[in-house]
Amino acid sequence: MKKIIEKIKKCETLSNIILFVTNIFFVTILNIRGVKISYLGRYNFFSEINIESKTLIRKHCYLRGKLNIGKFSVLSHGVWIVGNNNTNTQIGKYTLIGPEVLIYSYNHVTNHLSIMKNFLKGFETESIETKGDTIIGNDVWIGRRAIILAGVKIGDGSIIGAGAVVTKNVKPYSIVGGVPAKEIKKRFNDTLIKNLINLKWWNLPIETLNKNKKLFELDLKDKDKINFE
């Protein structure tokens, strides 16, 4: 029995070493591409993960499944993105995801006898279902410990309150919170929201954004329109 335990420990050690080396390789590639990773987190090396340059990923993040993250976005510490290979998780540009946020791209099946449908075959496999891609727009702010469930689409410019559980789509430039999350208010008036949706400033060159820094400091409460030079 002792010999068996020793062999298991050796296998675990070897697998951990392989995982550590592959993570270092993955992180190195991302650093070369301009992605800033402040700590060697946990990544599924065999997942289809695409992270654009100028993105910041802080410590203890876990990324799995088909995932795309736009430029200048930030994943704070402890963000878990739990995906699968059948659906995509899309995170836009200039999006800030707070600490310990959970984002899922699948659910457990509830109409089977057991969620562990394959246990009779000698191993445990979760029975899951998907509801389409999980999409988080551009210029979105997600507060600490919010949970984004599978198939949800969060519109550009929206804010998700801390601890919210988002089960339904969120309209652009709206603020939602609660369990389940509900709209609290709109960030701006309808005219300005329409202007911002059409403007899509996050697609403009960084040089243009730098020339218009003052626009990002304005109080837009009574504005109906903004223009970039």
The pLDDT tens digits along the chain (229 residues) read 445 545 444 555 665 566 556 665 666 656 555 555 544 444 554 457 888 888 888 888 888 888 899 999 999 999 998 877 778 899 999 999 999 999 988 766 666 666 665 555 555 455 566 778 899 999 999 999 999 999 999 999 999 999 999 999 999 999 999 999 999 999 999 999 999 999 999 999 999 999 998 988 889 888 889 888 7
Rounded Cα gap, residues 157 and 172, in angstroms? 6
Residue 39, pLDDT score: 44
| β-bridge partners, 13 | none
Domains and CATH numbers, the chain: 2-187 (2.160.10.10), 188-229 (no CATH)
Strand, coil or helix: 36: strand
Residue 112, pLDDT score: 66
Rounded Cα gap, residues 85 and 170, in angstroms? 24
Residue 82, pLDDT score: 84
Q: What is the pTM of this model?
A: 0.77
